[in-house]
Homo-oligomer: A and B are copies of this chain.
Amino acid sequence: MHTSIATVSLSGSLTEKLAAAARAGFGGVEIFENDLLASPLTPEEIRARCADLGLSVDLYQPLRDIEAVPDHVFARNLRRARHKFALMNRLGADTVLVCSSVSPDAVDDDSLAARQLSQLADSAHEFGIRVAYEALAWGRHVNTYDHAWRIVEAAGHPALGVCLDSFHILSRGSEPEDLEGIADIPGEKIFFLQLADAPLLAMDVLQWSRHHRCFPGQGGFDLAGLLRHVLAAGYRGPLSLEVFNDVFRQADAGSTAVDAHRSLLLLREAAGAGALPPAVVPTGVAFAELLTPDAEPVTGLLTALGFTRAARHRGKPVDLWQWGEARILVNTAATARRDGTRLAAIGLESPDPAGAARRAEALLAPVLPRRRGPEDAPLDAVAAPDGTELFFCATATATATATATATATATATGASATASATVADPELPDWRADFTDLPDTAVPSATRIDHLALTQPWHHFDEATLFHRSVLGLTAQESVDLADPYGLLRSRAVAAGDGSVRIALSVGAAPGDDTVHAQHIALATDDVMAAARRFRDAGGRLLPVPANYYDDLAARYEFADGELDTYRELGILYDHDAHGAFRHCYTEIVGRVFFELVQRDGGYQGYGAANAPVRLAAQQAGRR
């Protein structure tokens, strides 16, 4: 199935856009008129550039307010249209889009519209061009797809068909039965299909359309349902993205194009029109890998938390630090000093690492070269949109035994350590086998990685959510706003259904903020107070929490005697939801990373978002 993208959906000059679309695997483009007008290339040169890149020019839309107007106005419109048809011949575009008129000159007269569109199609036909008529959601008289089709049907011209646009159809709040009329349109009269999703905003539809469209799967429309209807009608033309979005206008065209094409592949899959390798949901976090120019500060912090250096990679400067089921790799391979310590990779326990990698690759995730020694396990890895390396792997039985011990210990307190007790399939490549055990033995503990919090580049937040959801098979939760003293952050969690993998994605208030806000690793323990005290007694510094916060807790909740005093003493924050309670505290920041100690009780599902403003303010205060 041919895929296409309107150049208005991407940032940059026309040639930048074309190169990005081709690299991401699109088969064609819609050339947006302003992009052509602003380009120093002639139409012939643009056509040649597209041909070199393997792109067809699927659509051009240079005409506005054409039909259902007085005849002298239509004569002018036809003159303009013939100019544009000649241009389209030079450009190699054979379909012209005509949107329903928004002009105050337009009259509510379907037969006039049909007659004039028929005349336009006559003229187009001379140039070998087809006319695709589309109902704008805010068209003056024609604003539904079935109305546009009635006019096209009445015109009965072979060079005249309809263009269906998901935004214009679904933004009107269509009920499922409203889409049934699509089946009445013969497939060969659907000349074109434009696709855009959008968040479900209650706002002026024109502003919504021009600024807030997004790629399929990133908004709230049922695009798969629409596509199924259109394919059932017999449509076999391009699936084309036309997305007006303020953020995409600023973002790098290359990564936006990849995000765009991935969204189309997923839409095809969701509509049952194109198979992909199935998702392999990860079953746990095998490890988190920190890249650091100087291991000392971070290993000091790990030691104070309770980690021990359990093993060393056979061939690389990488140590495995372990605390119960929480495993942190500390990698001192070359990294620039100014980058500081950062969370560079995540190992995901996978029941089928090769399958997981196949799906990721099919969905355009860059597959990472296997930089490994001849003896190393062949680990599959891809890059997430933010550059984090994701390893699909299995933790071997030796470790699983340690887990079993930890689980046994944890059982007494009822803590939720069982989810990570993966017993790896001996058939699977064992990343752990690349490491040589060190004499220090880890103290058994129920500790495990509760969640990882990753700061996303500003322009790619929705891409990150779609990636984690669709490539990894995680479930996305609602997006929440978090107030930092210097702007609102947005945060959205993606998780496996059983909570064994949780990733909190967040994005700053403005481009560039991803370097301000740190990433973090949250460690689940069954006694956060004991863990915090041990950390502090070992010389670790916990983020200070203002006394006013505890006065507020006292006003809002009733705690057991002394409990609040302990929170206050240690800097522990408290939250609760319909399921249970959450207690958590934070270490200082090292480089771009900090740690959180958390205790989930009674099935609490959140991430302590209510406390984020206090945490963020305290971190900002530490920077001054």
Contacts and interface: CB of A to CB of B under 8 A. Distances in A.
A487 B509 CA distance: 17
A555 B549 CA distance: 67
Nearest to A16: B485
Contact of A80 (B39, B80, B556): B556
B249 A487 contact: yes
The 3 closest A-B pairs by CB, nearest first: A83-B555, A38-B617, A203-B203
A618 B37 contact: no
A560 interface: no
A551 B38 contact: no
Which one of A16, A84, A249, A544 has the highest number of Cβ atoms from chain B below 10 Å of its Cβ? A249
A225 interface: no
A399 to B, nearest CB: 41
A298 interface: no
A488 interface: yes
Specify how many copies of this chain sit in the oligomer: 2
Contacts of A621: 13, 40
Contact of A549 (B37, B43, B204, B548): B37
A486 interface: yes
15 contacts: A11-B486, A11-B487, A13-B620, A33-B552, A34-B483, A38-B548, A38-B617, A39-B546, A43-B548, A80-B555, A84-B555, A201-B207, A250-B509, A510-B511, A511-B511
Nearest to A544: B40
A487 B250 contact: yes
B83 A551 contact: yes
Contact of A547 (B42, B620, B624): B42
Contacts of A487: 11, 246, 249-250
Interface of A: 11-13, 16, 33-34, 36-40, 42-43, 62, 79-80, 83-84, 87, 201-204, 207, 246, 249-250, 483, 485-488, 509-512, 544, 546-549, 551-552, 554-556, 613-614, 616-618, 620-621, 624
A485 B11 contact: yes
A279 B490 CA distance: 43
Given A202-B203, A249-B486, A249-B488, 4 more contacts: A16-B485, A37-B552, A87-B551, A249-B487
A16 B202 CA distance: 36
B555 A37 contact: no
Contacts of A486: 11-12, 249-250
Nearest to A250: B487
